[in-house]
Structures are given as C-alpha cells and as structure tokens.
Structure 1
C-alpha cells in the first residue's frame, strides 16, 4: 500500500455513511499517534481539514456533520448529502513520511417502488401482444431489467431496459413478468400478470380500429345533427310569415273620414267617405 491507495464507498442520500480505513493504517496510527482526515473541495488547490488526531486526543472540526470513532479511526458522516460526494483522505504521519488512504464517496438516492404502464396492446389470432413500460419516480442512476421466476416463461420476460414487448396466447393465464428497478445501493420489484389482457378486459384498452370508430363516428354525427338544426332554424321565420293566422279575438275596424270638396260656389258641397281597415291588437 503506497501513497494514494484508494477505494470507493457508496453512500445513501439522507442516511449515515462510515468511512473506514484498513487495519494496516489503524496499526500505524496507534504506533505513531498522529493522523488527520481531509476532504477535497470544489477548488482543486484547497482541502478541508475535518479532524486531527494526536496521541489519543482529537479535534473534530465538523462536529455537527461528522462523528469520529476513536477505536477504529473511522469517520462517520451523520446525514449524507450530495455535497459530501468528494474525495476523502486519511493521512498517518510516521516521522518524515506519510501514509495516505483515499476514499471516493459516491452518493445515491434510493430507488422508489416502480410502476408498470401499458403503452399499447393488440389481439392477433388469439394472441396478446402488449407493450409494457416500467418506471420509478425517484432514484439516482436507475437501471431496469425484466425477468420471471417461472423458468418456462423466463424467455418471454427476459429483457434489459424499461420497455418490454410481450406476446403470448390468451389461453395462457400463468405468465407473470417482474420488473426490477435498481441502482448501486437499492432495488425494487413490481410484477405484471398476464390476466391484464384477458377477454373480460378488452374494453379497458381499445384497439386502433375501435378508437377510430369511437372518435370519428361521433364527430360526423354531431356535424350532421348541427346542420339539420341550423337549416330548420333558418327556415322557421319564413314559415311563420306565410302561415301566421290572425288572433281569434282580433277584429277589423273601419274608420271613416269625411272630406268636403267644393267644386264651384253655386253648387252644394260633395261629401266623400274614405275607409281604412285597422286590425285591433
């Protein structure tokens, strides 16, 4: 083991992470009694001193975030955050020399329970062809794989990736494909059963030609009905004008107007009556 020997530690977001050193460095620390924990920063020319150990005593500069285990000289990060994803160093001083152990900490958010969505399906010759998509809402660097615990159907379900194209006869009701969502610190499993594509549930996921009938036909019917009502509405005022009957209680009144015309002084005036027909309301 020389200077810069390194290992990788996987930390879980929001949980405690312990950075341990190998037994050889523990023995050197007990013998020489001087060591220090450091951490890299965003600035490559600057390091952050976390803890100093000297002859059985130590000073923890990050008490609120770390805990030192004196018996093993390990450093515990109490609540691991993404900012802790750095390179850590434990350095033992042995006279004019140093021994360094480096730990690269990687931080991951655990995978949440995945779910399976049916993206599409078709029934062809009494066989069900279905497209499944497996997703997890949370988790860092999540990968997906499909499989089955039943060896007779493992070939149908085996696939790497979130999408699975599954085809099987409808008479087979024992197919169960399991999706595993995982990352370096966790994994979750969800199962799809072939009964999802049974005859009883055909109406739940309509086929393409059925979708055409369900969408296009109602639209055409609405257009036709709208046209009929529009034409009837336009024709209604004309019909009312041609066939509008008189009210039963209406009557026609004659108004007489007397006009006298004088033709000459020696003649009698002539009376003319003009009549106007006025309907009553």
Structure 2
C-alpha cells in the first residue's frame, strides 16, 4: 500500500499501538473507517465500505454489516489479518433508495458476534455535510488497504486518481508509491474537463515519493479533479479491483461513476489527461489538501 514518509511514520506508530492492546476487550468489536459520516452518496452507485474488526484473543475474526438497524446482516470480505486478533475488511454496497442510510458493523469470532459498533450515516441522494477535519497543515487522501504489485507494463503512461473535495482549499501535491521504474516522472493536476492546472518534474530513485507543486492549486468544493503522474517507461505500482465503489474519507471523495472507479490512466509519449479505467485499479496516487 502507498505510504509517504510522513504517513509511514504515522502508520508505524499506530501499528505499534495496535500490536499490543492497551487493554483487553471483553467482546469482539468493529469500526467503520469509510465512508465518513455525513457524506452524500448517489442512488444506484456503488459505495465502498471499509473498516477493522478486533477480538479479545488471537483467534479468527470476521465481520458482518447491517444497513437496516440490525434486522439483517451481510458478511464483509476480510482483506488482511494482523496478529490474529485484527482483521481489515471491505464491502461494496449499492444504495437503491434516497434518504439517510445508517451503516454499522460487528465482529464475529468462534464465541459469537459482538455488539454493533457506532453507526456511520450517509445521505443517499443528498448533499454532503462536511465533517470537522483539521486540514490546516495538510490532509492526505488514503485509500483502503490492498496488496500492491509492480506492474510490468513498460509503455509511456500517465496514471492517477479522480478526487472531489467537500470544502474549498488547495491541493499541495501528492504522495506516490512507485513501481520498478525509478527514473524521472512528472506530477500533474487537471480540472474535470482536462485543463492542466499544475505540474512538477521530479527525479529521485526512491520507491516513495512526496511531491509538492510549485504553488498550491485552488480547488472548489464538489468539483472533480485528477491528480496523476507521467512515467515514460511504465513500471508503476497498481492494485486491481480496488475502487469498486465510491470512497469517502473526508475531506476527499474518490467517486465511482457507476461503471468505473476513480483510478484513471492515459497511454502515450508525454502523457496527457487520463480518463481510461482498468478493472477499478488504483495507482497509489494520494493527493494532499490544505483548507
């Protein structure tokens, strides 16, 4: 999974805390990470729900979700197990009726199901209610966990992600996870209609890249933007079947258009505005916002 140096430090600290629970839990528990509560989502468009579940002891833990206040439950897909007592999970759900939708999760072990965790409420067919997220310095868009691969594709290509902000501010740049190609690349930002708004060339052999544009780029709330990078010899990192639904992690939304996820690409020497999609892939481009 993509990690900037700043994000790596935060994740390492969090992992250390999670590796040894501060206190034992009497029952299994589950939390919903995305979507952020208060988000506005569309009727008939897939929504990606992610989170983590925990058990009191190192034993298998799975997760169930409810969309009707606990009357029925559906199983989520476990994507990673840590230390036997934590499971990261995901589930793609397509809301069909406008109105408020409460999403809650519960963890399940051999001893049975735990209580439902706090519900996250989204507004289907409604507007987003921006949550109090502190982005005075910068907030980074973080995708849910997925195992990444170094794509063997060696063609010149531009790869990126389509994002939307729930508040005005500026895009500072992006952090990237690179693949096997470690030569010069160009980070770019585009409007929703393909106007190039900013770019910066970057040349460093590291796998992780954190690149700021020459100047912050103003963004409007509710409008789509694309942040991408051009690699002249392919060699990028990717994960297929990742953006299977809209991802909402305030202040960012990575929108699903009903057919394709937010990951985009464009082949050609010199790159260009990326609009093509492949198997709901992510290319581990993580825009950074201030506002």
Specify if TM > 0.5.
no
Bigger radius of gyration, 1 or 2? 1
TM-score normalised by L of structure 1: 0.29
TM-score normalised by L of structure 2: 0.28
* Structure number with higher helix proportion: 1
